[in-house]
Amino acid sequence: MYEHDVIVVGAGGAGLRAAIAAQEEGADVAIVSKLHPVRSHTGAAEGGINAALREGDSWEDHAYDTMKGSDYLGDAPAIETLCKDSPKEVIQLEHWGMAFSREDDGRVSQRPFGGLSFPRTTYAGAETGHQLLHTMYEQLVKRGITVYDEWYVSDLAVTDEERPEDRTCHGVVAYDIQSGELSGFRAKEGVILATGGLGQVFEHTTNAVANTGDGVAMAYRAGVPIEDMEFIQFHPTSLPSTGVLISEGVRGEGGILYNAEGERFMYEYGYASNDGELASRDVVARAELNEVGEGRGIDDEYVHLDMRHLGEERITDRLENILHLAKDFEGVDGLEEPMPVKPGQHYAMGGIETDENGETCVGGLYAAGECACASVHGSNRLGGNALPELIVFGKRAGAHAAGKDLGTAEIETGQRGDYELGELDTPVQPGEVEPAGGEGDAVADGGVAAETGSGDGHDIVERAVVRERERVQSLMEKDDGVQHAEIRSDVQDSMTEHVNVFREEDGLKQALEDIAEARERYQDVFVKDPSRTFNTDLIQTLETRNILDLAEAITLGALARDEFRGAHWRAEHQERRDEEWLKHTMLSWNDGTPELWYKPVLLEGEDKEYEPKIRSY
């Protein structure tokens, strides 16, 4: 068993920042990550990092924009923390040598971004995430922080008290991908989940193959509530064959969207008569799919984004990287032909419920970054607000886990006092196929999360290891059955068909049925590759289990929320309904029978109350 004060799971922007902060507080910290740190998907971010740095801007304005962008579903204490801390954290990156783009006077450049009232987005060319990730990894090397890379964390070691609020996390169980060794990692002070996005729940996504939402699923099964899962951001311009993102910059420079008939549909069909192609992400995404639905899509799948009229000079000058992306990943020459684009899953606003210090309701368990929900983004994330979230909340979680006093959090976590229970009419029983306690394969599919009993931390981790060993063994021992890839792709297809940009009640119910069926089939899943060396078949099979739980959670939330807010659009419910829905959708795993409940949104800021207004741009 390995032992450290603080264990950070994941090495993207959030995980790296957390580890550095924990070490600065004097903790012995280690990172456990299924990818080498520089392979994390933070590296793919292009656009920038929002921070109110300059004269004429203020954290208050940034907070106001963020709250409005969230469609009044962000919690004020989290948003204000983000906006107050991000200037300091961005300058910290600069002090660590990050290669920001510069002004003539040598200061860090900022540019305008959608939904911002001030040009406050700092950036490093079109590769901001890459620069941020590498800069922080360099600091990790400098500090000699231990990294267990290519170790897949498969479960948390959490005690099994009745109420999750009384449980404690003592560490994690991880599988060394290279050697096949399964081992416990005991964390004396705390475990921080920083496992990133969950785009692989969908068939078409801008996220990496490794973004399978493992941390969210593990925390969920350990009893931590997950929040606002239905809010998924879809980006309107991703390449059809891979999901690679074509940045908003193309439309910003004057790129035009056409349907199969060559019509400029954003105007001609009145989707956005003022802003046209530059309307907000959700509006453009819906317009595109509507065109395809009406039979005006190309190959029944996508629309065209044309920039040829901008001329070769302007394109190569300002949008050179787009030419490369289109060529390398779609085989299309943007100077000669229009580029095919369609909406792709891009970002999960929801995630593991935390407070503004990154703490969950389970003692010693933290979450930060895209896997967490504090909630900063509410029902819709503004471009450039995810990267500051990584460094602000990554740092706070790391410091807090290492014992720093950050004051009492305003946001409460877990089920406390009188909370509102939700009711939902579902076509099938969600959750575990055979709930905990029943016979069968529950162990094999990792469903039984909280059976570790009590005892000292060491015992708890040891028992979690034994349980995971059984699970892996039973997957490896089966000689025949279903392969995870079939199950995964069926669920991804169903999610992209029914729980995508457009959500209709029947479709959502269909998705729940598909997921329930997939859960049944997962009982017979087996790992074909018998090897212990680099068995990606096994790793992906474990990930697929997580995809099932998250797909279901997203769909349950989407079905429950019968209103249209931010990124969540419901065919039958075309209005934002503040009287009823200024609250977060919460799901608790409840040992295999998910429980839906609600928690009010916090609009009360430090010295002002945010008034819900119509979100129009």
- Can you give the binding site for ligand FAD, defined by CB under 6 A? 9-15, 32-35, 40-42, 44-49, 128-129, 152-153, 194-197, 206-207, 210-211, 214-215, 245, 346-347, 369-371, 383-387, 390
User: With contact defined as beta carbons under 8 Å apart, do 4 and 171 qualify?
Assistant: no
Q: Choose the contact partner of 178 out of ligand FAD, other proteins, none; CB within 5 to 8 A by kind.
A: other proteins
Residue 26 interface partner, choices ligand FAD, other proteins, none, CB cut-off 5-8 Å depending on type:
none
Separation CA 433–CA 439 (nearest Å): 11
Question: Does residue 43 bind other proteins (CB under 8 A)?
Answer: yes
| Nearest-approach distance from CB 513 to ligand FAD, in angstroms | 28
**Alpha carbons 372 and 353: distance in angstroms, whole number:** 6
Identify which of 383, 390, 348, 381 has the alpha carbon closest to the alpha carbon of residue 40.
Answer: 390
**Site residues (CB under 8 A) for other proteins, limited to 247-266:** none
- Stretch of residues binding other proteins (CB under 8 A), selected from 76-84, 495-503, 530-538, 542-550: 530-538
Q: Does 577 bind other proteins (CB under 8 A)?
A: no
Q: Which of 186, 251, 281, 396 is catalytic?
A: 281
Residue 191 contact partner, candidates other proteins, ligand FAD, none, CB within 5 to 8 A by sort of partner: none
CB-closest chain residue to ligand FAD: 12
The 3-state DSSP class for residue 163 equals coil
> What is the DSSP track for 240-301?
TTT-PBPPTHHHHTT-EEE-TT---HHHHTTS-TTTGGGS-HHHHHHHHHHHHHTT-SBTTT
| Distance, CA of 190 to CA of 186 (rounded, Å) | 9
Neighbours of 451 (CB within 10 A): 15
Q: Which residues in 112-181 belong to E strands, given as ranges?
A: 121-122, 146-149, 151-158, 169-176
Query: Shortest gap between Cβ of 267 and other proteins (angstroms)?
Result: 29
Binding-site partner at residue 97 among other proteins, ligand FAD, none, CB < 5 to 8 Å by type: other proteins
87 binds other proteins (CB under 8 A): yes
Kindly state whether residue 532 participates in binding other proteins, applying the rule CB under 8 A. yes
Answer yes or no: 281 catalytic.
yes
| CA 360 to chain CA centroid, nearest Å | 16
For residue 601, the SS3 value is coil
User: By CB under 8 A, what part of segment 348-407 binds other proteins?
Assistant: none
Which value, to the nearest 10 degrees, does the dihedral of the CA atoms of residues 508, 555, 485, 542 take?
A: -160
152 binds, among ligand FAD, other proteins, none (CB under 5 to 8 A by kind): ligand FAD
Dist. CA 271–CA 315, nearest whole Å: 27
335 binds, among other proteins, ligand FAD, none (CB under 5 to 8 A by kind): none
Q: Which is nearer to other proteins, 488 or 568 (CB)?
A: 488
According to CB under 8 A, which residues from 465 to 484 bind other proteins? Answer: 476-477, 479-480, 483-484
* Bridge partner list, 192: 8, 366
Query: Taking the complex as a whole, how short is the minimal distance between the CB of residue 45 and ligand FAD, in angstroms?
Result: 3
Please identify every residue annotated as catalytic.
Answer: 281
